[in-house]
A and B are shown apart, each in its own frame.
Chain A
Amino acid sequence: MTQLRQRESEFADKHVQVYVVTFDDNFLARAYVEQTSLKWPLLIDRELKLYRAFSMDRGTWWAIINPISIWKYLLLMFRGRKLQKSGADYRQMGGNVLIDPTGKIRFHYVSTTPHDRPTVDEILEVVGSAEG
């Protein structure tokens, strides 16, 4: 998310509307928006319908709690991010879906670990190549 936000203007320049989706409750979602100053709409999907529709899977416990993910969480905390207790599913993975103006999915990425995400370049490349 940090990498995406650092390049917000590039998405705006390419007219890509970004939606962020969470399955946490409104209270946590609002706190997240305030803490991170998120400008994109944060949509709430408590029943995980959209997660399931786009095949966002649950991971194994080892995928969630491993030395790399623990290290990355420690880095986040070191940078000032306050970790909060979530009542939601810790094993639910995230991911990214890019949809073109005709409604076709052009990029579909399901994370395999908490910090596994495609690069911003990968995403923007798909937009750029489709637009020639």
Chain B
Amino acid sequence: MPRVELANLPAIDFELPDIDGQMHRLDDTAWRLIVFHRHLG
């Protein structure tokens, strides 16, 4: 599968729960770093 380069494109919004069930959305007022983990094992 060819790799898609997303730099300079608008980020998609998201809403995901943390381990306590609290939902998180992209905060649109600050820099955000999303670190995608591999499996945690």
Contact = CB atoms under 8 A, between A and B. Distances in A.
Contact of B31 (A56, A84, A101, A111): A101
A99 interface: yes
Contacts of B40: 22, 24, 28-29, 31-32, 84, 86, 88
Nearest to A43: B16
Interface of A: 1, 4, 11, 14-24, 26, 28-33, 40-45, 49-51, 53-57, 83-86, 88-90, 92-101, 103-108, 110-111, 114, 123, 127
A1 B37 contact: yes
B9 A104 contact: yes
B8 A17 contact: no
A101 B29 contact: yes
A24 B37 CA distance: 9
B39 A90 contact: yes
A57 to B, nearest CB: 6
Interface residues of B, number: 34
Contact of A108 (B7, B22, B27): B7
Contact of A42 (B6, B14, B18): B18
B11 A105 contact: yes
A103 B28 CA distance: 6
Contact of A17 (B6, B9, B17, B31): B31
A86 B26 CA distance: 28
Given A11-B33, A105-B7, A43 B41 contact: no
Given A86-B41, A92-B38, A15 B30 contact: yes
Contacts of A83: 41
Which of B4, B16, B29, B36 has the largest count of A CB atoms less than 10 A from its CB? B36
